Structure 1
Amino acid sequence: MKNSASVIGMMVSAAVAGSFCEVARADESALFKDSTATLQARNYYFSRDYSGIVGPNKQSKAEEWAQGFILNIKSGYTEGPVGFGVDALGLLGIKLDSSPDRVKTGLLPLHTDGSSADEYGSLAGALKMKVGKTELRVGELQPNLPVLAFSDIRLLPPTYQGASVVSTDIEGLTLNAGQLRSTNLRDSSNDQPMYALINDPINPRRIANITSNRFNYAGADYTFNDKRTTVGIWQAQLKDIYQQRFYNLKHIEPFGSWKLGANLGFYDAQDDGQSKAGSLDNRAFYSLMSAAHGGNTFYVGYQAINGKDGFLRIGDNISPLGNEVPTYEFAAPKERSWQLRDEYNFAAIGLPGLVVGARYLKGDNVNTGRGFEGKDWERDLDIGYVIQSGPFRDVGVRIRNATARSNYRTDIDENRLILSYTIKLF
């Protein structure tokens, strides 16, 4: 683990080095003139109160406060039929407040004595090559895929080490393929093997100690109908643990002054290869319908989990399921769940920068393995505001309050306060 001084030094050095791109703008090479660099400062307070605790962990509260910095440098490409470039990503997290009896928020790494680290960070890069509209990246990656969602929901985002190819040479068609070898989790500065999480009411982490150094994926999305309809098919494999297929349909339909939307998805997963985690069987269907009018967007969602197991994913990440929320997942074996959500953008009434969202989710029919039907519900309130003018222009403030209750798992009351500001370096 790098100390904060060394990581800050590397990040500052990278930012200073980037200033040479300002001089290099006179160079016609797109490698320099298309380069960008940003530094995001993120201040994060996270608090969860637990009650009706189920399971071996009897910690009644998780509460920490930390400051993060995310440096993102992206070059352009050299000129010619084959273009080359390089990207760099610097991450730094600093503890502001914590205690051994309030850890495990996902903001900070843990030491072996149970206390959280004072700081953690990393600096890594990726080489990239482009031919036409096909791009190859090798190195530090942040994929955002239906089979591996980008889970930037804590102080610092997770990263992966491997190679990816994205091609848009055929109009309307996007092809993806890649292999990931290791991961740097959201609260870690060390590369490590990947593991799977399974939504299991009895033992949620029963396969988390089984790891793999190969996550292979391939997918295709085709957009047509004046870009209003997209269909997708994906295949993923966490070698010797599980394999998963995904089928997706998205559509947007104007209806007078309304805009109606549909997002339908189906996952089918089984154990893979040597089946190191044992026999696995999961099928998950979700539907998320939307209706937008003025500043309002209304959502109705339905989700059904089938097979003997709950939903499978790479840990520690969210999934793209329609009823996935950061507190409860509503993806336990046999679970059926509904969602109602409303988001309002106050720009519609002359208050740009302010967005408020509220949602309610309810699940039942859970196979708890304890002789009774599992039920759960969650209510979330999100308020986000980006200051529009003055000395604090572009500073973002986000507040989240969540209440989650269940008859088979621990109840949660959660609050988050996130302040963020992004500086464009060049």
Structure 2
Amino acid sequence: MRNAVKWSSLALAVAMGNGLIASQALAQESTPGVGIVEGATATLSSRTMYFNRDFRDADGNSDGIREEAATGMVLDFQSGYSEGLIGLGFDVTAMGGLKLDSGGGRTGTGILPVDPDGTAPNEYAEIRGTVKGRIAEDTVLRYGTHFVENPVVAYEDARLLPNHYFGYSVTNESIDGLFVEAGRMTDRGEMAGSSQTDGAYDVEGEDVSYLGGSYTFNDALAATLYTSKADEMWKRHFLGLAHTAELTDGLSLTSELSHYHTSDDSPGATTYDNDATSLALTLGAGNHGFTVAYQRMNGDSGYSYMDGAVFLANSVQYSDFNAKDERSWQARYDYDFAGLGIPGLTFMTRYITSSDIDTDYEDIERDSRWERDTNISYTVQNGTLEGLNILWRNATVRQAAGGVREWDGDIDENRLIVSYSWDLL
């Protein structure tokens, strides 16, 4: 049935495309286009990552390490559109990973796949494509691979390579300040080395439909509203508000509110009923940023998700603080070293602590956890290596093993990431 849906949708898309092309010949006016080749862009992105996750025992000693290094490459080609009222085009994305370091007992970081014998392959690759159509200048239809990113459906890009969806969508920006989109994603393809890979090269996820968008009222206020349905899992709605108030010269206050309402739509015993809310306040003072955030979970379960769609303030490097009944607070500090004459160098540190976790385990002594993160990033500003970025991410997590997820426990984590992009077209 899944393949039948794919091919029938493709046939419909082709039929519509042929009809639209024919209609162009009869149109009295057409919108000029730059052409499929003339409007094309191509970018080659490279990311080299060293990943170390050290699991700690109850006494703080090392209890096992996941440690690997790899290089990933992503070639993203996007054609322009053919001329006329209806413009047609296509996109191609090729991805590949190369093992630099791995070994028995150290696999499972998520940046490399794991073969049945427990080792990581030396390399892996895949290529994906999309057909697209543009109506006038403000409506785009797509069929094929999607890197969709919104609060209810979002691809992941926190490891070596991004994962992606297969499906169809339409976006519209005909009203100034308003972005609207709708779509149905029928497969979630997870390239090994993507954020939530399970060792396979491709994973079929639940079908999910979505509708929503965002509206920018002015330079200070924006709102986001989405609804979605993941088949036989849940129905989910999202509301987001962002406001920036200019207090004085060089001093501003940004408020960000996010709220998810999830209702159960599964036939089994699993329940997904949840309300997740977060509020973050950021005081910007020149090159400094000070943030406090509060997040809470209500309902019969924690906040469940199957991709990167967790647009909450306390979803951070390792934890999401999304367990049943969990309450969490965050304090964060950012600094841009341009203020000291070092443009391109930035620093961030944050601390999140939580309580009231409903573990459903009578023998769990702790119902709380905390995480401390530190990021240091530098982007080369000029010269031969202009644009090269070096990022170090450190996380320290302390939590009750088995209390939130079956693999949870105390960890120390370090990620070193070097990335660079070339504009080929």
In which range does the TM-score fall when normalised by the shorter chain? 0.7 to 0.9
2:152 is paired with a residue whose SS is coil
Indicate the residue corresponding to 2:12 in structure 1. Answer: none
Indicate the residue corresponding to 2:255 in structure 1. Answer: 262
AA matched with 1:87: D
Task: Give the Cα–Cα distance (whole angstroms) in 1 for the partners of residues 156 and 309 of structure 2.
Answer: 6
Task: Give the Cα–Cα distance (whole angstroms) in 1 for the partners of residues 288 and 106 of structure 2.
Answer: 38
Residue among 364, 378, 381 paired with 2:371: 378
1:399 equivalent in alignment to 2:404 = no
How far residue 326 of structure 1 moved from its aligned partner, in angstroms, is: 2.3
Indicate the residue corresponding to 2:135 in structure 1. Answer: 131
2:357 is paired with a residue whose SS is strand
How far residue 148 of structure 1 moved from its aligned partner, in angstroms, is: 2.4
8 Å contact 1:39–1:423 — kept in the other structure? yes
1:367 is paired with a residue whose SS is coil
How far residue 98 of structure 1 moved from its aligned partner, in angstroms, is: 0.8
AA matched with 1:411: D
Aligned pairs for 1:181-196 (under 5 A) are 181-187=186-192, 190-194=201-205
TM-score normalized by the length of structure 1: 0.84
How far residue 277 of structure 1 moved from its aligned partner, in angstroms, is: 5.9
Task: Give the Cα–Cα distance (whole angstroms) in 2 for the partners of residues 340 and 279 of structure 1.
Answer: 32
Task: Give the Cα–Cα distance (whole angstroms) in 2 for the partners of residues 318 and 328 of structure 1.
Answer: 14
Task: Give the Cα–Cα distance (whole angstroms) in 2 for the partners of residues 395 and 112 of structure 1.
Answer: 36
8 Å contact 1:68–1:91 — kept in the other structure? yes
2:270 is paired with a residue whose SS is coil
| Consecutive unaligned residues in structure 2, runs of 5 or more | 1-31
1:380 is paired with a residue whose SS is strand
- Once the two structures are superposed, residues 221-252 of structure 1 have per-residue CA deviations (whole angstroms, 9 ceiling, x without a partner) of 2221x232112221111101111111111111
Task: Give the Cα–Cα distance (whole angstroms) in 1 for the partners of residues 269 and 48 of structure 2.
Answer: 38
AA matched with 1:119: E
Aligned pairs for 1:23-34 (under 5 A) are 29-34=34-39
2:36 is paired with a residue whose SS is helix
Indicate the residue corresponding to 1:253 in structure 2. Answer: 245
Indicate the residue corresponding to 1:325 in structure 2. Answer: 316
Aligned pairs for 1:328-347 (under 5 A) are 328-347=319-338
Which of structure 1's runs of 4+ aligned residues deviate more than 6 A? none
| Consecutive unaligned residues in structure 1, runs of 5 or more | 1-26, 195-211
Give me the CA root mean square deviation. 1.9
Indicate the residue corresponding to 1:240 in structure 2. Answer: 232
Task: Give the Cα–Cα distance (whole angstroms) in 2 for the partners of residues 159 and 105 of structure 1.
Answer: 19
Indicate the residue corresponding to 2:416 in structure 1. Answer: 417
8 Å contact 2:44–2:423 — kept in the other structure? yes
How far residue 150 of structure 1 moved from its aligned partner, in angstroms, is: 3.4
Higher relative contact order (CA 8 A, sep 6+): 1
Change (3 A) 1:174 1:277: farther
Task: Give the Cα–Cα distance (whole angstroms) in 1 for the partners of residues 158 and 140 of structure 2.
Answer: 27
Aligned pairs for 1:20-419 (under 5 A) are 29-52=34-57, 60-132=64-136, 133-187=138-192, 190-194=201-205, 212=206, 214-224=207-217, 226-257=218-249, 258-272=251-265, 274-276=266-268, 278-315=270-307, 317=308, 319-371=310-362, 372=365, 374-407=367-400, 408=403, 409-419=408-418
How far residue 320 of structure 1 moved from its aligned partner, in angstroms, is: 1.2
8 Å contact 1:155–1:186 — kept in the other structure? no
Indicate the residue corresponding to 1:200 in structure 2. Answer: none
8 Å contact 2:191–2:201 — kept in the other structure? no
Indicate the residue corresponding to 1:7 in structure 2. Answer: none
Task: Give the Cα–Cα distance (whole angstroms) in 2 for the partners of residues 96 and 129 of structure 1.
Answer: 40
8 Å contact 2:33–2:81 — kept in the other structure? no
Change (3 A) 1:359 1:186: farther
Task: Give the Cα–Cα distance (whole angstroms) in 2 for the partners of residues 379 and 263 of structure 1.
Answer: 21
Q: Percent identity?
A: 35
8 Å contact 2:254–2:282 — kept in the other structure? yes
